[in-house]
Amino acid sequence: EKGTYPHYMLKEIDEQPLVIRNIISKYQKENGEIKLDEDIRKAMQAADRIYIIAAGTSYHAGLVGKQLIESIAKKPVETHIASEFLYNMPLVSEKPLFIFISQSGETADSRGVLVNVKKLGYPALTITNVPGSTLSREADFTLHTYAGPEIAVASTKAYTAQMAVLAILAVDTAKARGLTLDFDPIKELSIVGTVMETLCDQKEALEKIAREYLSVTRNCFFIGRASDYYVGLEGALKLKEISYIQAEGFAGGELKHGTIALIEEGTPVIALATQKHVNLSIRGNVKEVAARGANPCIISLEGLNADNDAFVLPKVHDYLTPLVAVIPLQLISYYAALHRGCDVDKPRNLAKSVTVE
């Protein structure tokens, strides 16, 4: 039930700090170590390459997952759109492990790939919010995201839960490989929960941003580099599906290869600047679009912020920044849809779970 909330989406956005705490408690042993099925641990160790398969928002979580597993566990990962993999399967490595990410566990495109890889005899792990679902039953292993039922068509808490579980999986894999980590993953995840709470309390500021940048526009671009690019893709998906604004996410460096031609007087460009190593280059991109008339809205991180940034995120561990950076984007999308009179929880032409190809 949505209780006093006007929409499930807003309730589900607000539930994210709780979901993170829930995930911590489910994946932590009493001694503080990570609790994970030994068979999953073995499958991660045995794999020479990991293939993440998903659709929509879950695909965007998979992009961040690739970065987490590669940087923390030092295992090569490829993330693929399920419907593309289905008809254009790449050559796979000798010992692949397939990870399916799906909130519902019922997405037909992902299931199609699962059926094919099982026929080929490859091991499969499903990360899902619905453990009894088709993708969970048909895979060898399941990791539960413990986000609780997600009702709004626009996925919010399932996305951050998927990334949190992927971070835990990455850390567990690193430890099982004998790698030493210079951070305490549980502590860093609990900081994420606290920061999420702070962000959920900043609704007024985010509503104002939505009003200022998005109340009349026809389109909106999201730019970022590295993980900010992935979060930007998710921000664009969120905005387009519920507000019907044509929203697209781009890698900052790609702007000059075409997209910048679309910038007109007043075009909103939401730029994410949450990482030190790309801070200067993304701010360079912002200058380029501003010079062509864009209305830039910079979302940055404490310590990397500059005058006139529209919103500044509190600092969390670098690897986990996407989990907090998405929250303002979710809320901006929510308010943009609300201001434009859209049906936030049930956007036109969309179904919560896409069980046909």
Catalytic residues: 352
Question: Binding of ligand M6R at residue 126 (CB under 6 A)?
Answer: no
Can you tell me the distance from the alpha carbon of 35 to that of 144, in angstroms, rounded to the nearest whole number?
A: 12
Cα–Cα dist 197/180, whole Å: 30
Q: Which of 16, 22, 79, 102 binds ligand M6R (CB under 6 A)?
A: 102
CA distance 207 to 138: 42
Q: Which stretch binds ligand M6R (CB under 6 A): 151-159, 208-216, 246-254, 311-319?
A: 151-159
Q: Of 54-62, 177-185, 283-291, 323-331, which part binds ligand M6R (CB under 6 A)?
A: 54-62
Which of 156, 300 has the CB closer to ligand M6R?
156
Site membership for ligand M6R, residue 160 (CB under 6 A): no
Q: Which stretch binds ligand M6R (CB under 6 A): 152-160, 176-184, 202-210, 276-284?
A: 152-160
Site string for ligand M6R, 291-330 (x = CB under 6 A): ----------------------------------------
Asked if 104 is part of the footprint of ligand M6R (rule: CB under 6 A), the reply reads yes
* CA 44 to chain centroid: 22
Q: Please identify which residue in 83, 103, 173, 274 interacts with ligand M6R, judged by CB under 6 A.
A: 103
* DSSP helix/strand/coil, 6: coil
* Closer by beta carbon to ligand M6R, 60 or else 283: 60
Q: How far is CA 33 from CA 19, 51, 191, in A?
A: 19, 26, 17
* CB 154 to ligand M6R: min, Å: 4
Does the footprint of ligand M6R cover residue 107 (CB under 6 A)? yes
Helices 16-26, 185-200: crossing angle, 10 deg rounding: 160
- How many residues touch ligand M6R under the rule CB under 6 A: the total is 16
In angstroms, the Cα distances linking 122 to 24, 38, 106, 118, 125 are: 30, 18, 20, 6, 10
Q: Per-residue x/- mask for ligand M6R, residues 219 to 248, rule CB under 6 A? A: ------------------x---x-------
**133 scored as a contact of ligand M6R (CB under 6 A):** no
> At its nearest, how many Å lie between ligand M6R and the CB of residue 66?
17
Tell which one of 58, 83, 227, 279 touches ligand M6R (CB under 6 A). Answer: 58
Supply the minimum distance, in Å, between the C-beta of residue 326 and ligand M6R. Answer: 11
Start-to-end C-alpha separation, the chain:
30
Contact partners, residue 61, CB within 8 Å, separation at least 6? 54, 101, 159, 162, 163, 166
By the rule CB under 6 A, 56 interacts with ligand M6R: yes
Residues 6+ apart with CB under 8 A from 204: none
Would you count residue 155 as binding ligand M6R (CB under 6 A)?
yes
- Should residue 353 be labelled a site residue for ligand M6R when binding is judged by CB under 6 A? yes
E-assigned strand segments in the chain: 49-54, 77-81, 96-102, 124-128, 141-144, 219-224, 246-251, 268-273, 295-301, 311-313
What is d(CA 86, CA 39) in angstroms, rounded to the nearest whole number?
Answer: 27
Residues within the interface to ligand M6R (CB under 6 A): 55-58, 102-104, 107, 110, 153-155, 237, 241, 353-354
